Amino acid sequence: MARPTKWRRIEHIPAVENFVPSDRETEEFDKNTLKLEELEALRLKDLEGLEQVECAEKMKVSRPTFQRILFSARKKVADSLTKGKAIRIEGGYYTRNICPAKCLECGHNWKESFENMERINRGEYTCPECGSQNITCSRGGKGGFCRAHCHRYRGRFRGGRGGRGSPFHG
Protein backbone atom coordinates (compact mmCIF):
# COMPACT_ATOMS: atom_id res chain seq x y z
CA MET A 1 0.00 0.00 0.00
CA ALA A 2 1.34 3.43 -0.91
CA ARG A 3 2.26 5.84 1.82
CA PRO A 4 -0.29 8.68 2.21
CA THR A 5 0.78 12.11 1.01
CA LYS A 6 1.86 14.35 3.86
CA TRP A 7 0.02 17.67 4.18
CA ARG A 8 2.17 20.64 3.20
CA ARG A 9 1.85 23.77 5.32
CA ILE A 10 1.28 26.99 3.42
CA GLU A 11 1.15 30.54 4.75
CA HIS A 12 -0.04 32.45 1.69
CA ILE A 13 -3.26 32.21 -0.31
CA PRO A 14 -2.97 34.28 -3.52
CA ALA A 15 -5.55 36.96 -4.33
CA VAL A 16 -5.66 35.90 -7.98
CA GLU A 17 -6.18 32.31 -9.11
CA ASN A 18 -5.80 32.71 -12.90
CA PHE A 19 -3.10 34.20 -15.10
CA VAL A 20 -3.83 34.43 -18.82
CA PRO A 21 -1.57 35.65 -21.64
CA SER A 22 -2.80 39.12 -22.63
CA ASP A 23 -2.34 38.66 -26.38
CA ARG A 24 -4.99 35.95 -26.61
CA GLU A 25 -8.27 36.92 -28.30
CA THR A 26 -10.01 33.62 -27.71
CA GLU A 27 -10.87 32.12 -24.36
CA GLU A 28 -9.73 28.68 -25.48
CA PHE A 29 -6.10 28.15 -24.55
CA ASP A 30 -3.86 25.59 -22.94
CA LYS A 31 -3.21 25.94 -19.24
CA ASN A 32 -1.06 24.60 -16.45
CA THR A 33 -2.52 24.01 -13.00
CA LEU A 34 -0.19 25.16 -10.24
CA LYS A 35 -0.99 23.58 -6.87
CA LEU A 36 -1.01 25.83 -3.83
CA GLU A 37 1.98 24.05 -2.29
CA GLU A 38 3.91 24.61 -5.54
CA LEU A 39 3.13 28.33 -5.39
CA GLU A 40 4.21 28.37 -1.74
CA ALA A 41 7.51 26.69 -2.67
CA LEU A 42 8.14 29.35 -5.33
CA ARG A 43 7.25 32.11 -2.89
CA LEU A 44 9.53 30.85 -0.13
CA LYS A 45 12.53 30.01 -2.31
CA ASP A 46 12.44 32.57 -5.12
CA LEU A 47 10.60 35.52 -3.59
CA GLU A 48 11.61 35.29 0.07
CA GLY A 49 15.08 33.96 -0.79
CA LEU A 50 15.15 31.29 1.90
CA GLU A 51 17.44 28.27 1.77
CA GLN A 52 15.82 24.96 0.84
CA VAL A 53 16.21 23.58 4.34
CA GLU A 54 14.38 26.60 5.78
CA CYS A 55 11.65 26.33 3.13
CA ALA A 56 11.17 22.64 3.86
CA GLU A 57 10.91 23.33 7.59
CA LYS A 58 8.30 26.04 7.01
CA MET A 59 6.24 23.73 4.82
CA LYS A 60 6.68 20.78 7.24
CA VAL A 61 8.14 18.48 4.56
CA SER A 62 11.53 16.89 3.95
CA ARG A 63 14.14 18.69 1.86
CA PRO A 64 13.86 16.16 -1.02
CA THR A 65 10.06 16.58 -1.03
CA PHE A 66 10.46 20.35 -1.09
CA GLN A 67 12.89 20.00 -4.03
CA ARG A 68 10.35 17.92 -5.98
CA ILE A 69 7.56 20.43 -5.30
CA LEU A 70 9.79 23.35 -6.35
CA PHE A 71 10.95 21.55 -9.52
CA SER A 72 7.35 20.82 -10.53
CA ALA A 73 6.33 24.46 -9.94
CA ARG A 74 9.24 25.90 -11.90
CA LYS A 75 8.59 23.51 -14.80
CA LYS A 76 4.92 24.57 -15.01
CA VAL A 77 5.72 28.28 -14.83
CA ALA A 78 8.49 27.98 -17.45
CA ASP A 79 6.18 26.00 -19.75
CA SER A 80 3.45 28.63 -19.40
CA LEU A 81 5.81 31.55 -20.03
CA THR A 82 7.57 30.05 -23.04
CA LYS A 83 4.48 28.52 -24.70
CA GLY A 84 1.92 31.19 -23.85
CA LYS A 85 -0.19 28.99 -21.60
CA ALA A 86 -2.46 30.21 -18.84
CA ILE A 87 -1.78 29.34 -15.20
CA ARG A 88 -4.57 28.29 -12.84
CA ILE A 89 -3.78 28.07 -9.12
CA GLU A 90 -5.84 25.48 -7.24
CA GLY A 91 -5.82 22.32 -5.19
CA GLY A 92 -2.96 20.28 -3.86
CA TYR A 93 -2.15 18.65 -0.54
CA TYR A 94 -1.96 21.64 1.75
CA THR A 95 -3.00 22.84 5.16
CA ARG A 96 -3.05 26.29 6.67
CA ASN A 97 -2.13 25.00 10.11
CA ILE A 98 -0.53 22.08 11.86
CA CYS A 99 -2.00 21.34 15.27
CA PRO A 100 -0.10 19.89 18.22
CA ALA A 101 -2.03 16.71 19.12
CA LYS A 102 -1.89 14.82 22.40
CA CYS A 103 -3.22 11.43 23.45
CA LEU A 104 -4.95 11.71 26.81
CA GLU A 105 -4.37 7.99 27.50
CA CYS A 106 -0.60 7.57 26.99
CA GLY A 107 0.50 11.24 26.82
CA HIS A 108 2.06 10.89 23.33
CA ASN A 109 2.50 14.24 21.53
CA TRP A 110 2.71 14.74 17.76
CA LYS A 111 1.89 17.25 15.02
CA GLU A 112 -1.32 16.71 13.10
CA SER A 113 -2.96 18.52 10.21
CA PHE A 114 -6.31 20.10 10.88
CA GLU A 115 -7.72 18.10 7.98
CA ASN A 116 -7.85 15.03 10.21
CA MET A 117 -10.20 16.81 12.66
CA GLU A 118 -13.36 15.30 11.14
CA ARG A 119 -11.87 11.81 11.37
CA ILE A 120 -10.87 12.46 14.98
CA ASN A 121 -14.33 13.75 15.89
CA ARG A 122 -15.98 10.71 14.23
CA GLY A 123 -13.72 8.37 16.20
CA GLU A 124 -11.99 7.08 13.06
CA TYR A 125 -8.54 8.32 14.05
CA THR A 126 -6.40 6.84 16.79
CA CYS A 127 -3.19 7.64 18.64
CA PRO A 128 -0.21 6.32 16.66
CA GLU A 129 1.36 4.97 19.88
CA CYS A 130 -1.42 3.29 21.88
CA GLY A 131 -4.43 3.24 19.52
CA SER A 132 -6.64 5.32 21.84
CA GLN A 133 -9.33 7.56 20.37
CA ASN A 134 -9.01 9.96 23.32
CA ILE A 135 -7.08 12.66 21.42
CA THR A 136 -7.02 16.40 21.99
CA CYS A 137 -5.35 19.51 20.68
CA SER A 138 -2.48 20.42 23.01
CA ARG A 139 -3.42 24.09 22.77
CA GLY A 140 -7.19 23.59 23.01
CA GLY A 141 -7.34 21.20 25.92
CA LYS A 142 -11.11 20.58 25.73
CA GLY A 143 -11.11 17.41 23.66
CA GLY A 144 -10.99 17.36 19.88
CA PHE A 145 -9.31 20.20 18.07
CA CYS A 146 -9.86 23.87 18.81
CA ARG A 147 -11.04 26.07 15.96
CA ALA A 148 -9.27 29.11 17.40
CA HIS A 149 -5.93 28.18 15.87
CA CYS A 150 -6.30 24.80 14.14
CA HIS A 151 -7.90 25.89 10.90
CA ARG A 152 -7.35 25.65 7.21
CA TYR A 153 -8.54 27.79 4.37
CA ARG A 154 -11.79 26.73 2.71
CA GLY A 155 -13.19 28.74 -0.13
CA ARG A 156 -12.55 29.53 -3.71
CA PHE A 157 -9.42 27.37 -3.80
CA ARG A 158 -11.70 24.45 -2.97
CA GLY A 159 -10.08 23.42 0.27
CA GLY A 160 -6.87 21.51 0.61
CA ARG A 161 -6.35 18.10 -0.79
CA GLY A 162 -6.76 18.23 -4.55
CA GLY A 163 -9.60 20.69 -5.07
CA ARG A 164 -12.67 20.06 -7.21
CA GLY A 165 -14.26 18.13 -4.38
CA SER A 166 -12.23 14.99 -4.97
CA PRO A 167 -9.85 13.87 -2.26
CA PHE A 168 -7.37 12.61 -4.83
CA HIS A 169 -7.70 15.14 -7.64
CA GLY A 170 -4.44 16.68 -8.64
pLDDT at 148: 47
Taking only Cα atoms into account, the Rg of the chain, rounded to an integer number of angstroms, comes to: 18
Lowest-confidence segment of 9-13, 42-46, 134-138 by average pLDDT: 134-138
Domain 8-94 has CATH 1.10.10: yes
pLDDT at 119 > cutoff 50: yes
Q: What is the mean pLDDT of the chain?
A: 78
Taking residue 70's Cβ as centre, other Cβ atoms within 10 Å add up to 21
pLDDT at 137: 75
pLDDT at 164 > cutoff 60: no
What are residue 144's DSSP bridge partners?
A: 136
Position 27 confidence tier, pLDDT thresholds 50, 70, 90:
low
Amino acid at 101: A
Position 9 confidence tier, pLDDT thresholds 50, 70, 90:
confident
pLDDT at 139: 66
Ranges in the chain annotated CATH 1.10.10 = 8-94
Position 130 confidence tier, pLDDT thresholds 50, 70, 90:
very high
